[in-house]
Amino acid sequence: MFYHDKKLQYTVRVETPDPRFARMLQQAIGGVEGEIRVMLQYLFQAWGARGPAKYRDMLLETGTEEIAHVEMLATAVAMNLEGAPGSMQEQMAKQNPLVEAVMGGMDPRQYLSAGMAALASDANGVPFDGSHVYASGNLAADMYANVTAEATGRALATRLYHLTDDPGMKDMLSFLIARDTMHQQQWLAVLEELGGQQGVLPIPNSFPQEKEKQDVSYAFFSTAVDGIEPPSGRFTSGPSLDGKGEFSVVKIAPMGQEPKLAPPLPQAHAQLEQMQGGVRPQQTASQALGDSTIEVTPRTTKSKKASSK
Amino acid sequence: MFYHDKKLQYTVRVETPDPRFARMLQQAIGGVEGEIRVMLQYLFQAWGARGPAKYRDMLLETGTEEIAHVEMLATAVAMNLEGAPGSMQEQMAKQNPLVEAVMGGMDPRQYLSAGMAALASDANGVPFDGSHVYASGNLAADMYANVTAEATGRALATRLYHLTDDPGMKDMLSFLIARDTMHQQQWLAVLEELGGQQGVLPIPNSFPQEKEKQDVSYAFFSTAVDGIEPPSGRFTSGPSLDGKGEFSVVKIAPMGQEPKLAPPLPQAHAQLEQMQGGVRPQQTASQALGDSTIEVTPRTTKSKKASSK
Amino acid sequence: MFYHDKKLQYTVRVETPDPRFARMLQQAIGGVEGEIRVMLQYLFQAWGARGPAKYRDMLLETGTEEIAHVEMLATAVAMNLEGAPGSMQEQMAKQNPLVEAVMGGMDPRQYLSAGMAALASDANGVPFDGSHVYASGNLAADMYANVTAEATGRALATRLYHLTDDPGMKDMLSFLIARDTMHQQQWLAVLEELGGQQGVLPIPNSFPQEKEKQDVSYAFFSTAVDGIEPPSGRFTSGPSLDGKGEFSVVKIAPMGQEPKLAPPLPQAHAQLEQMQGGVRPQQTASQALGDSTIEVTPRTTKSKKASSK
Amino acid sequence: MFYHDKKLQYTVRVETPDPRFARMLQQAIGGVEGEIRVMLQYLFQAWGARGPAKYRDMLLETGTEEIAHVEMLATAVAMNLEGAPGSMQEQMAKQNPLVEAVMGGMDPRQYLSAGMAALASDANGVPFDGSHVYASGNLAADMYANVTAEATGRALATRLYHLTDDPGMKDMLSFLIARDTMHQQQWLAVLEELGGQQGVLPIPNSFPQEKEKQDVSYAFFSTAVDGIEPPSGRFTSGPSLDGKGEFSVVKIAPMGQEPKLAPPLPQAHAQLEQMQGGVRPQQTASQALGDSTIEVTPRTTKSKKASSK
Amino acid sequence: MFYHDKKLQYTVRVETPDPRFARMLQQAIGGVEGEIRVMLQYLFQAWGARGPAKYRDMLLETGTEEIAHVEMLATAVAMNLEGAPGSMQEQMAKQNPLVEAVMGGMDPRQYLSAGMAALASDANGVPFDGSHVYASGNLAADMYANVTAEATGRALATRLYHLTDDPGMKDMLSFLIARDTMHQQQWLAVLEELGGQQGVLPIPNSFPQEKEKQDVSYAFFSTAVDGIEPPSGRFTSGPSLDGKGEFSVVKIAPMGQEPKLAPPLPQAHAQLEQMQGGVRPQQTASQALGDSTIEVTPRTTKSKKASSK
Amino acid sequence: MFYHDKKLQYTVRVETPDPRFARMLQQAIGGVEGEIRVMLQYLFQAWGARGPAKYRDMLLETGTEEIAHVEMLATAVAMNLEGAPGSMQEQMAKQNPLVEAVMGGMDPRQYLSAGMAALASDANGVPFDGSHVYASGNLAADMYANVTAEATGRALATRLYHLTDDPGMKDMLSFLIARDTMHQQQWLAVLEELGGQQGVLPIPNSFPQEKEKQDVSYAFFSTAVDGIEPPSGRFTSGPSLDGKGEFSVVKIAPMGQEPKLAPPLPQAHAQLEQMQGGVRPQQTASQALGDSTIEVTPRTTKSKKASSK
């Protein structure tokens, strides 16, 4: 369970409110690289954690920290919406600054729907979407998902850093960027504890590799047409990273058949031509199929009858 | 640009059609761990690739392979929908097998919307969602995103393996599982080429770390209340993975203020009590705010007036 | 900022795991009446709170409690997925219980995507959607939104109560139902503090009512065709609830015009017939519009030219 | 069933078309506070109404009115898109007004997808989403949902009022604002008919309160850490609003256990370390689990075997 | 504007309620082939209609009819939820029919969220999504969109016809199927009025074809690899349907370049290797880029400076 | 299966990068009229094709071509993001062009999430949504869906043509517009092969028309209130397009009943008033319903008991 403090994890200061920057911050709140996502991702991973309790505990620690990050960013949005930026006012002195701010680049819903506050959505106003909460039940897969979240999250924060001159905002972002640095480390450290690449690969490592088609387990498939050389690199030759195979390059070619699906099920109501082989049908649906179409027996049953003759 | 062959990359065979398994396969087609996602993810990464051409080429190679995986799975769905499973027929002999199949566990839209074929959606019928196509412009972040996709993708394929007894389906899955093994390797090999963790961390490595709040860059923050010990592990002490710091544990405490937002902007139409400090207002909106509310000058301008007195 | 305890707010116990009930519980986690929604809703309302600090504090108190409710429910899901229900096993003794559970009514993604744990989605697998986080910036509107969330949430919990016989689950639900009782009270108590209906209506009460079309502010409009009597009730006669008007019934009739939109903008490329009044055009696009279509001057400029003749 | 008139419910007039205001109006059409939502919400409540016919009738009356509101707003959008605003033309005289309008703040899809007309989406172009159609089957819950819709809807309309100077648009909004006033009254009047708070609370009032954990039914839980006073108000002491309890304040503390989930199900393919207690496994998947992993018997069966020894 | 009647457009009768069929009917309510979609599609097309008023009028006529179809289907859902089906009760006599119905195939949200009534979502519980409301502003494109909606809608209705034995349901569907027949005719009749294929093609017919790359306007491109014959048909030879060209077959080959994107923008924070040509960087971010990275001048400005030297 | 070439299908050239046009191009990538949609639509139709193999082959040919169109557009987006437009720089000389570009009209996520590249979303940043992939299993319905996609797609491309002055972009669009011309032809040619309107209508033509309510199969229903004349046209009189009927006009009137739903199911927890006929209940839930509410027998069982008295 959870407790709160009325104070923020780190100071949020805005010297010159900038409604357009308030829109950009939304990406770090409700975007796919944002803080609602990591908060829920780490908490759901904790709540479903099976196996060593230590990782449940760790996920709970950091999931709780992330709630405070959403809070900081939501506060930063609210502060950036307090007043129209000076530059805008100079530029369009005779016009209404609110109108210009809302229409000229801020997220209009921060005004229309939230009355000058943050939303649970991204920089384009797309609502946060829970399908980005990855919690696979496999610890190694989850750690990689978490590294990804913190890598794209830190990239986002460094990009936001260039869209503001406000010292308060730069200071807040320098804190969040540092935390992303640590969190990248943290999830990778777990992978190291689990034995590194040799220990964890292939993920999941609990499926017997004899059951997979091992002749293509370490082959780089080139799908380029003739005349184009495949790229070469660490992934095209030499020992595989799990020490269990050797990389090779294979020019791809069909190993499978040309699929032929069964004719349409009568009750699925394709066109008659599809059911009669493509010739234009000489009969109406009723002539062809009879009254029985509508209570027609399904294909499997029919073919059984056929075979029982 | 792209070409096709009429044959499949690998044989798809179904001995005993199972409409319920056809639903499960949808997760591998349109789910967040599925093949439409990796197909588009690798192709979009290729199409936006900046920097060494080799990685664009590699992404194009594998993105193209993934289209063939969607094709195999869509074909497998169509084949599994051809006939109702035997077990069902025995159980409810007198009933209509189609009705039972549609209502008893298959995805009804495979019949209702697709006439017995695959959909671009997941095992719950949720449509594929393009926001899962991660292509961040940062090569290392993208490689971790790709490892995640292949780790959760392989976990999904091994789980599907247990939901079918069909030898054709098990054979197809053993091929896809092997390809996921390779693709995990492939993206991690790129990270090794880039210098491994010491080379790529923190991601992005092009942001000067002096600009981040470095005193919290390698600190594990414990958010647990008093009396609960933080977990200890590779991530709580010892050198950091990038060789640039030392892990430590910090009991979290507020470093920030209790936020006080400005009063509501008049045009955002909070309740009067919010604008007048919480006492029940003695005046109506018009008495309090006058006709001017509707053309009221914005806060910044007002406070400037106020301070210029 | 936030802290956590490793213990749950209230005991979660499952005597007989039921994978199908685990699906039902998802509605209370990620559904529109669920706990992720109220957690984020109260927290976002707090983080954007302007006006008396007391309400920010209160929202923070309860938003934090709701995180613990998500935790309880996610734990309950994980526990319900531990084993297939007895009834199922009896019914289909020779079959694989996992297969039956996954295919026979549980959310397949709890297995396929989460490895037997909860998801951030609803009982149909639809991901949680942040657009349900209502935080309007108007305190009274938000309190009504919160009452709605707790009323539909309590209805959901009472309905779930009938889908389980498990004493542990019934006990957990009886706790959550009681908290919903209190939370309904809590938000309504704020509305009472704000003066009750006479004080808060119409919401927002900071817009001068003189500016609204007051002759229809208290009129029940009947849209039924002739011969059908409008219903009568508290809302059709007598004083209005805000004490500012008198209810009446008005048979609806058009007060507006039949709209005539301007002809299509050339660059929007309607069909020629739309641009030429509906007769079949005798000319091709180029004859009719000339090369200029592709750099054609916009309508407003044109009509100005026309009117300046 | 339904009929239509070619005339609008109320006059829609635009003196100076403003493509950017056309974007803002989208929030009132397809936004979560918008008219498509209330139209469908009231109609679905009517179509599912069980109990006194009078409320079905009333919902049908008002749901039908709301269709006309969507029509007015869609017409207003189309009219605002007829020509670029004067101010823009002055500012960028030499440029193409269409290009500037589309790129400079209007919803580009109003041009690209609709050829200068309204869309079924919100001010950020997010499509209308049917999950906002609340129709719970509980009359009191639905009435509160409807008050919320009209309270946020009226807040939206008053905010839009400040983004336009057009007298036609202000006139149209003054009509819609007045209708929202009435509709707030209407739904609250039903709650009064049902006995007011004492009659309807807790919602649903058909669940026996003896079955809920009554010792926490009227307790305000404070989740703040030590040293922070909970807020006090109508909701912390005195009689509850339903007359059935007394408010109190409770400092929150865990009433539940620290959850310990069962180890992973073999077929869910967690990492081996999760299945073997966290130590680095000395065995491969096949050594550890054998061939049987892939047809492994599920946990419940296993534990039964175990306990039957 | 709109009016309503309390009676349904056509009788809705259910002899044997079937909760599972109630789920299937959802596809016809909130699915992509469903009635909410056509209702909104025709109404939005009407509300944005530019050109001959006759088509606006026609769209308004039929859009209004479709509201009544949603009503019929929602009523049918509610009626199908009244009681558990007999077959179920026999099968599981000792069990709770409600539990079995909710868990055994019906949409659980019809109970959990709606209290036994219809939802604005499809047969998988995916909410109705306004992006399917096609109203392009081009009359011919819209007519084809409408034919599509009625063709997939009629296919859906005929498929539903096979999932029920209830004479009331079959009767209702036979009415809806007939209306879909008419509506297909209706939209195609408009295309005939507009001159048929020779008149309307290519859509939009108001863009001068001289501006398109006419040498590929009537060529069937074959993307198959060598050795595979392209299919032949009406679309590979003979005059084109608009009478303006001749069909041909072209084996596809690249007409474009291999794309080379510019190196990453410094502020977008790719990895250093991407910015330095792929070799492992010998310098840190700060050594390489200096303090200036964070206020670095953008590429265009830089290259201008460079070229102005 | 699929192959690729490193070259583009057609040259993509950008002379003057325009970040705002890069946003507009997103509609042609991930929008409902865009190329991801047609690529997946044609491929899914091919993969589920039942009936004559020729149509499967054709769909595969063109589906593969469309992947190359997504590639061209994604490349065009990346190129348009290389540098801020000149006009902007002149206008705001002292400001940071990156900041202005991101905040002044481009899609901020092209920078924030993609580091200056394309996204799988539309011009408003709404992610691509797989529910637009129409593949109905009925060939004629699918062909109409494809014509619609190419008609709205060509309308989109011609509209984009007016938003750019760049000769490279105009050249690329002229190619795409020409391909849309061909693809409209292609799908209509299949319908001609299938016998044209007389052959394919009504779709599906495999449902016996005797089973539909034929007296309304060719009737135009007018839903206008008295005094409004229905529009007249090809669809109101004369032979129907399939040659099977005669158009007529029918003034709509209810053919159905006023629906009366059964009272609420006890376990669905409506308000007591709904269950007791609307009078304010004199009893509490427990008095009225007893302990049994929570294990109450369902309605059907009850009514059986009642009728068996």
Cβ–Cβ below 8 Å for A74 and C44 = yes
Selection from C131, F22, A70 nearest residue D124 by Cα? C131
Domains delineated in chain D: 19-198 (1.20.1260.10), 214-256 (no CATH)
- pLDDT < 70 positions in chain B: 83-95, 278-284, 286-309
pLDDT the model gives residue D300: 37
Shortest alpha-carbon distance between residue E269 and chain A (Å): 7
Cross-strand pairs, D251: D222
Lowest mean pLDDT among C274-288, E235-249, F142-156: C274-288
What burial class does residue F278 get, using C-beta atoms within 10 Å of its C-beta: 0-12 exposed, 13-18 middle, 19+ buried? middle
Task: Report residue A278's pLDDT band, with 50, 70 and 90 as the boundaries.
Answer: low
Cβ–Cβ below 8 Å for B267 and D294 = no
ipTM of the complex: 0.90
Q: How far apart are CA B158 and CA B136, in angstroms?
A: 29
Which chain E residue's Cα is nearest to C28? E112
Report DSSP letters for F155-194, one per residue: HHHHHHHTT---HHHHHHHHHHHHHHHHHHHHHHHHHHHT
Strand-strand pairing, B248-251 and D219-222? unpaired
The structure tokens listed for E112 are 């959990």
Cβ–Cβ below 8 Å for A50 and C130 = no
Cβ contacts (< 8 Å) between C162 and chain F: which residues?
Answer: 267, 294-296
Touching E: D residues 25-54, CB under 8 Å: 30, 36, 40, 43-44, 47-48, 50
Helix, strand, coil percentages for chain F (3-state, nearest 5): 50, 5, 40
Cβ contacts (< 8 Å) between D275 and chain A: which residues?
Answer: 51, 206
pLDDT the model gives residue A100: 79
In contact, E248 and F64? CB cutoff 8 Å: no
In contact, A7 and B253? CB cutoff 8 Å: no
Give the Cα-Cα-Cα angle A11, A15, A21 (nearest 5 degrees): 90
Report DSSP letters for E80-115, one per residue: HTSS--HHHHHHTTTS-HHHHHHHTTS-HHHHHTTS
The overall average pLDDT reported for chain D is 88
Best to test chain E binding among C274, C283, C292 (most E CBs inside 10 Å): C274
Q: How far apart are CA D69 and CA B60, in angstroms?
A: 50
Report DSSP letters for E14-65, one per residue: -SS--HHHHHHHHHHHHSTTSHHHHHHHHHHHHHT--S-HHHHHHHHHHHHH
pLDDT in tens, C147-160: 999 999 999 999 99
Q: What is the largest CA-CA distance in chain D?
A: 90
Name the residue facing E269 among A155, A295, A296 (closest C-beta).
A155
Size of interface B-C (CB pairs under 8 A): 145
Please state whether the peptide bond connecting residue D202 to the residue before it is cis, i.e. omega within 30 degrees of 0.
Answer: yes
Cβ contacts (< 8 Å) between A113 and chain D: which residues?
Answer: 27, 31-33, 152, 156
Touching F: A residues 54-113, CB under 8 Å: 87, 105
Q: How far apart are CA A69 and CA A73, in angstroms?
A: 6
pLDDT the model gives residue C276: 83
Whether E280 shows a pLDDT value over 90: the answer reads no
In sequence order, which ranges of chain D are alpha helices (DSSP H)?
Answer: 19-30, 35-47, 53-80, 86-91, 97-103, 108-112, 139-161, 167-193, 196-200, 272-275, 285-289, 299-308
Residue for token pair 């777990």: A190
CB neighbour list of residue A182: distance below 8 Å, 6 or more residues apart = B216, B217, B218, B219, B220, B221
Three-class SS of residue C295? Answer: helix
Three-class SS of residue B170? Answer: helix
What's phi and psi for E29, nearest 5 deg? -95, -65
Phi/psi region, residue F277 (left: phi>0; alpha: psi -120 to 50; beta: rest), is left
Q: How far apart are CA D158 and CA F241, in angstroms?
A: 51
Residue for token pair 């996502």: A37
pLDDT in tens, A69-105: 999 999 999 999 996 544 443 444 345 778 878 877 8
The overall average pLDDT reported for chain F is 88
Shortest alpha-carbon distance between residue F22 and chain D (Å): 11
Q: What CA dihedral angle connects C25, C30, C35 and C40, to 10 degrees?
A: 170
The structure tokens listed for A22 are 């308030």
Task: Report residue F279's pLDDT band, with 50, 70 and 90 as the boundaries.
Answer: low
Q: How far apart are CA A66 and CA A35, in angstroms?
A: 6
Q: Which whole-number Å values give the CA distances from D77 to A105, D8, D162, F274, in the listed order? A: 20, 14, 17, 41
pLDDT in tens, F51-64: 999 999 999 999 99
Cβ–Cβ below 8 Å for B278 and C48 = no
pLDDT in tens, D28-78: 999 999 999 999 999 999 999 999 999 999 999 999 999 999 999 999 999
Best to test chain B binding among A173, A203, A237, A275 (most B CBs inside 10 Å): A203
Q: How far apart are CA A91 and CA A97, in angstroms?
A: 10
> What does DSSP assign to residue C274?
H
Shortest alpha-carbon distance between residue B289 and chain A (Å): 18
pTM summary value: 0.93
Whether C287 shows a pLDDT value over 70: the answer reads no
The structure tokens listed for F287 are 């008095």
Best to test chain A binding among E126, E158, E229, E295 (most A CBs inside 10 Å): E158
> What does DSSP assign to residue C38?
H
In sequence order, which ranges of C235-291 are alpha helices (DSSP H)?
Answer: 272-275, 285-289
Is the minimum CB–CB distance between B120 and chain A shorter than 8 Å?
Answer: no
CB neighbour list of residue F47: distance below 8 Å, 6 or more residues apart = A259, B70, B71, B74, B75, B78, B117, B118
Q: Is B171 annotated as a binding residue?
A: no
In sequence order, which ranges of B166-290 are alpha helices (DSSP H)?
Answer: 167-193, 196-200, 272-275, 285-289
What burial class does residue B55 get, using C-beta atoms within 10 Å of its C-beta: 0-12 exposed, 13-18 middle, 19+ buried? buried
pLDDT in tens, E47-83: 999 999 999 999 999 999 999 999 999 999 999 999 6
Shortest alpha-carbon distance between residue A278 and chain B (Å): 18
Average pLDDT over every residue of C166-193:
98
pLDDT the model gives residue C105: 83
Shortest alpha-carbon distance between residue B197 and chain A (Å): 9
Q: Is A35 annotated as a binding residue?
A: yes
pLDDT the model gives residue A307: 35
Q: Is F69 annotated as a binding residue?
A: yes
pLDDT in tens, E161-194: 999 999 999 999 999 999 999 999 999 999 999 9
Cβ contacts (< 8 Å) between C116 and chain A: which residues?
Answer: 48, 50, 137
Task: Report residue D7's pLDDT band, with 50, 70 and 90 as the boundaries.
Answer: very high
Give the Cα-Cα-Cα angle D112, F169, F13 (nearest 5 degrees): 145
Cβ–Cβ below 8 Å for E27 and B109 = yes
Average pLDDT over every residue of D137-147:
98
Shortest alpha-carbon distance between residue D206 and chain B (Å): 32
Whether F181 shows a pLDDT value over 80: the answer reads yes
pLDDT the model gives residue E289: 56
The 10 Å CB-count burial string (b at 16+, else e) for C165-189 is: ebebbbebbbbbbbbbbbbbbbbbb
pLDDT in tens, C9-24: 999 999 999 999 999 9
Q: Which whole-number Å values give the CA distances from D84 to D88, D116, F103, F160, in the listed order? A: 7, 12, 21, 18
Cβ–Cβ below 8 Å for B254 and C1 = yes
* Other CB atoms within 10 Å distance of the CB of residue E250: 13
Task: Report residue A108's pLDDT band, with 50, 70 and 90 as the boundaries.
Answer: very high
Touching E: B residues 229-288, CB under 8 Å: none
* Other CB atoms within 10 Å distance of the CB of residue A238: 12
Q: How far apart are CA A149 and CA A184, in angstroms?
A: 9
Whether D304 shows a pLDDT value over 90: the answer reads no
Is the minimum CB–CB distance between C145 and chain D shorter than 8 Å?
Answer: yes
Average pLDDT over every residue of F67-71:
98
Q: How many helices (H) and strands (E) does chain A have?
A: 12, 3
Best to test chain D binding among B269, B279, B289 (most D CBs inside 10 Å): B269
Size of interface A-D (CB pairs under 8 A): 145
pLDDT the model gives residue C277: 72
Three-class SS of residue A248? Answer: strand
The structure tokens listed for F272 are 């007591």
Lowest mean pLDDT among A272-281, D126-135, E22-31: A272-281
